[in-house]
Chain A
Amino acid sequence: GAGVSQSPRYKVAKRGQDVALRCDPISGHVSLFWYQQALGQGPEFLTYFQNEAQLDKSGLPSDRFFAERPEGSVSTLKIQRTQQEDSAVYLCASSFLELAGYEQYFGPGTRLTVT
């Protein structure tokens, strides 16, 4: 079956613009994670959904970041009033269940550049 997909793959935004990044997880996967990967760094956790419930948003760097998964499948990460420090690759991952033993499958990421 299809893997995790993300769109757009690349996004250039002017500082102050709002952006929306989409993640389509693997069908049937309960768990969905968002990570932020700055250049030359490892991914860092942003937020986690179990179905439509956002159970953890402790990694969101500011209240400009907002994520949703209203029907428990597709998720959107929204960044308001983008800043240059928001430039990064945003990775989405899904997992069949939230149990630690289940593999997280990653999407190709969205590279956001804020100018």
Chain B
Amino acid sequence: AQTVTQSQPEMSVQEAETVTLSCTYDTSESDYYLFWYKQPPSRQMILVIRQEAYKQQNATENRFSVNFQKAAKSFSLKISDSQLGDAAMYFCAYRSGFYGGATNKLIFGTGTLLAVQP
């Protein structure tokens, strides 16, 4: 079974600084997707960024980028120029790339609560 581990329950960053959130995962599959979701206090989960395992290039979305190390099964999120609105719970998630049924569910880590200090 696949597992996702986030070892940082809480992180803090100064506004305009850079912060990196860690995530490791375990799988025997070769085809999968990895995601970072943001969950603000209102609790609506929002997709931040995703990475296809078959792509070697790290995904980037504006101030958000990932460091995907497939051999090490590591998938960290870097937030540059942190803003107050980035404060939220961040979840790392795994999804099998195989087609059909239960394999399309998301498997989440336990989350990292990010605080942004003004």
Contact = CB atoms under 8 A, between A and B. Distances in A.
Contacts of B47: 103-104
A63 to B, nearest CB: 18
Interface string B45-57: 1110010100000
A93 B96 CA distance: 17
Nearest to A57: B102
B104 A31 contact: yes
A56 to B, nearest CB: 4
B105 interface: yes
Contact of B101 (A43, A55, A89): A55
A48 B43 contact: no
A107 B105 contact: no
A99 interface: yes
Given A42-B108, A43-B108, A100 B33 contact: yes
Which of B46, B99, B104, B108 has most chain A Cβ within 10 Å? Answer: B104
B101 A48 contact: yes
Contact-size category for B: 20 to 34
Contacts of B28: none
| B interface, over-half SS | mixed
A56 B106 contact: no
A98 interface: yes
A33 interface: yes
Given A100-B33, A100-B95, A100-B96, A33 B43 contact: no
A58 interface: yes
B108 to A, nearest CB: 3
Interface of B: 4, 32-33, 37, 42-47, 50, 52, 91, 93, 95-111
24 contacts: A3-B44, A42-B4, A42-B93, A43-B91, A43-B106, A45-B102, A48-B101, A55-B100, A55-B102, A58-B102, A89-B43, A93-B45, A98-B99, A100-B95, A100-B98, A100-B104, A103-B47, A104-B47, A104-B106, A106-B37, A106-B44, A106-B46, A108-B43, A111-B43
